[in-house]
Amino acid sequence: MRLSFWLSALMLTLLAAPSPAQHSAPYQIEDPALHVGEYFIHTIVFQGETPYSQPSLEAASGLQPGTALTRTGLQTAADRLIETGAFSDVQASFDGPASAVDIIFKIKPTDPANMLHASFENFVWWQPSELTSEIQKRVPLFNGSIPEGGNQQEAIEDALHQLLTAKGITATVTSELIAPFPGQPLRIAEFRIQPPEVRLHSLKLAGVSPTFLPLTARLTSSLIGSPYNEGLTTSSLQNRILDIYRDAGYQDASLTSLTRTIAAAAAPNVEVDIAATLHEGELYHLARLDWPGSPLMSAQAFTTAAKLHPGEPATQQALRDSLANLDAAYRNHGYMDVVITANPTLNTTTHQATFTLSATPGPQYRLRKLTILNLSPSQRRDFDSTWKLRKGDIYDAGYVTAFLKSNTALHTRANYPASCNVVEDPEAATLDLTITFHKSTDAATLTLR
């Protein structure tokens, strides 16, 4: 992020406090306050396309037309803007007579690739629109997205804590970054409270047909008593319900009229009753999966490996399995932040679905550090003699998985299941890999975290 600060030639003249002979009407300084560097704001102008409104930008800067401004005040306002993380560049200037200064900010918004989708997991005391409105009163630049850097994530946590306190609720507010994965293309900042634990007390669904009643009843039974999640993730209540239909090919199934009622709020838990109306929609069949191809997976290779084919019910699970093949092709070449999207186009007349696929690869990661745990010296020599991924190499997730699951050369590793932990450094595009072996009488298994 870059902050530039400059003054117009006119204001430089004013700041220099020249002798009266140097002033010409109408810029004669008559107010003694102006001699100590105080000006009065006439207008505030923000130049550059942004997703933010004029009032929200003014509120974020801390400036208002008609108020006084010192020479250091403009620098402070520009600092406020850049510290939000919402802008990659801020240039501040002012022009006009000291009694009616025009403040000009040239701003460049942060790249959308560095923005997170805000998700609110269990704030059941507000409707989503109400919660958004209340946050915006306290965090002016909040519009559903949050800069990955800057202070906005912390500001939203503080706003949520204030809202809860106003309702007499003592709670801890936290947030978590959730990275994309097949079937979930969003980069999410998930906000939640815990404690208290918000749990589902009851779930009533209207509009369920006899065909799907057994499946929805089974899901409802499994959800009662579990932590409540109404966020954007695939594990949210809405997605858990709609997955039943989308996995059967009902791509336009939807959930409406969701209401929340607090059934009990005795510490340490909050119990919530949920009611909603289900619209099942129609069964869709696949028209095509539209992948244009790339150097990492050609269109033909993708079609051959796809689990969903034209004419078949457009089931979500088969789509996810097809996307997983594409996702793996990128991760096997070090693109650990790849985002695979499948934008649906639904023909409501023929009930056919076309999915247009795209891949945003992100940086190509290299192995920075390898840590091996729980092997004896002889076992470690056995491991090193067959392991091929070295420091500085482009990371190959597929190689690691295949090596630990299928490699038969490690005779001393028999009955030692392995788990892997990957810690990424996005700024350096490197990662640290830790492989932990566990003594077991079972066949080797792999767990990736």
**Percent of the chain topping pLDDT 70:** 87
**Structural domains in the chain?**
2-109 (3.10.20.310), 112-194 (3.10.20.310), 201-282 (3.10.20), 285-360 (3.10.20.310), 366-448 (3.10.20)
Confidence at residue 445, expressed as pLDDT on a 0 to 100 scale: 42
Bridge partners (DSSP) listed for residue 273 = 202, 261
What's phi and psi for 3, nearest 5 deg? -120, 120
pTM: 0.77
Residue 219 phi, psi dihedral angles, 5° rounding: -65, -45
**How far is 253 from 216, CA to CA, in rounded Å?**
13
Which ranges constitute the DSSP H helices of 308-436?
316-331, 377-386, 397-406
Q: What is the DSSP letter of 110?
A: P
Beta strands across the sheet bearing 173-178: 145-147, 115-120, 188-193, 173-178
Calculate the alpha carbon distances from 297 to 252, 256, 330 in Å: 29, 39, 8
Place of tokens 């550059």: 48
Residue 343, classified by CB atoms within 10 Å of its CB into exposed (0-12), middle (13-18) or buried (19+), is exposed
pLDDT tens, residue by residue, 98-144: 889 999 999 999 999 889 999 999 999 999 999 999 999 999 999 99
Token pair belonging to 161 = 């804590």
Round to whole Å and give the CA distance between 336 and 324: 13
Does 34 have pLDDT greater than 60?
no
Q: What is the pLDDT at residue 414?
A: 54
When the pLDDT of each residue in the chain is averaged and rounded to a whole number, the result is 87
SS3 150: coil
Tokens of 272: 């919530």
Mean pLDDT value across residues 282-290: 97
3-30: burial string, b at 16+ Cβ within 10 Å, e else: eeeebeeebeebeeeeeeeeeeeeeebe
In whole angstroms, give the CA distance from residue 299 to residue 367. 29
Q: How far apart are CA 292 and CA 315, in angstroms?
A: 21
pLDDT score of 410: 58
Q: What is the mean pLDDT of residues 212-221?
A: 96
pLDDT above 70: residue 364: yes
Residue 408: pLDDT band with limits 50, 70, 90: low
Query: What tokens were used for 258?
Result: 């969701």
Q: Which two tokens stand for residue 372?
A: 């091996």
Which of 29-33, 41-45, 230-234, 394-398 is the least confident region?
Answer: 29-33
Neighbours of 354 (CB within 10 A): 18
pLDDT band, residue 426 (cuts 50/70/90): confident
Q: Is 431 left (phi over 0), alpha (psi -120 to 50) or beta?
A: beta
- Residue 415 pLDDT: 60
Question: Are the beta carbons of 29 and 39 closer than 8 angstroms?
Answer: no
For residues 192 and 116, give the distance between their C-alpha atoms in angstroms, rounded to a whole number: 16
Q: Is 311 exposed, middle or buried (0-12, 13-18, 19+ CB in 10 A)?
A: exposed
Contact 165, 158 (CB under 8 A): no
Beta-bridge partners for 95: 102
- Ranked by mean pLDDT, the top range of 170-184, 393-407, 423-437 is 423-437
Place of tokens 């850049």: 82
Q: Which residue reads 């409540």 in tokens?
A: 228
- Give the pLDDT score at 98: 86
